[in-house]
Structure 1
Amino acid sequence: MRTIGFMTMPVDFKYKKAHHLGRPRHEKYSDFWRRHTPMDHVRRAKLFSPFDALRGFDEAVESKNIRYVERSIPADLNEKLRRLQELSRPVTIRFFVPCTDENSEAFEKGLGLYKTVSGTVRDINPVTETLRINETLVSFEDIGEITEDSGSER
């Protein structure tokens, strides 16, 4: 009995004859070789690059590289918000965004990332405790830092 890889070849194997012949060999510069030149390894590898056997694996590995942090609330936040209402100048707000990846430890621990948005504050709503800067709605409790665009902190 012959083997194919690690398993024995069945008696009624459909491609037994082709298997016994082996891989086709062509003389270099023959008519067949000229029509079907061998592909270099880099181009051949590109043929298989769209194939993603473990869909989402790359994203899962990449998500482990994100360093999540705890939320911190500045002591003088109320003073900064009061002064922000008086300003009509562009400001930069650094705010907390909780982790949304349910498979991450950070999600369970309530950790997240700080993002930054710059622009003029369009609306401050004391009832809902939110402010709108450009198109971003930021909760008061998520604000980590408010700075004027000139660079001095307020």
Structure 2
Amino acid sequence: MDSQTGTTQPVQRPESTRPDTSSVPLTADNFHNHPSNYDGTTDTRVIYFAFDSNTVPAAAFETLRAHATYLKNNANAKLRLEGHADERGTREYNVALSERRAQAVQKFLRVQGVSSSQLEVVSYGEEKPAAFGHSEMDWAKNRRVELNYVAGRP
């Protein structure tokens, strides 16, 4: 309240002290500090699949879109898509299934505009389990595609 007139006056907001980052290029060095990555969506590096499926789950779409954005903005970045399967099925079947899983993730990223030269598909089948048990919980951890940056990693 103004002591002279007895009326209220609007409070002036101070100028923002945050730096303007709208023109800061997104690079491998500043990716984690860039405002477009404030939620950490590219921190997720594993996509899990349903039993005997190579369909990319809808729950992974946001994460994969964030990786696609990063890759499109960083032409030197390269991502290895490592497909895995649980121990059920023959070795040959699991190698083929895990390759189809990695290829499904690759296709999703390509549709988002990522260059094929930035993506590499590797299939491990059941050879590199994340969990060594023999329960549904363990098998679920092994049905996955891991996203590993081999160059220009965020």
Greater fraction of residues in helix: 2
Give yes or no for TM over 0.5.
no
Class of the TM-score when normalised by the shorter of the 2 chains? under 0.3
Larger radius of gyration: 1
TM-score, scaled relative to structure 2: 0.26
TM-score, scaled relative to structure 1: 0.26
Q: Which has the higher contact order (CA 8 A, sep 6+)?
A: 2
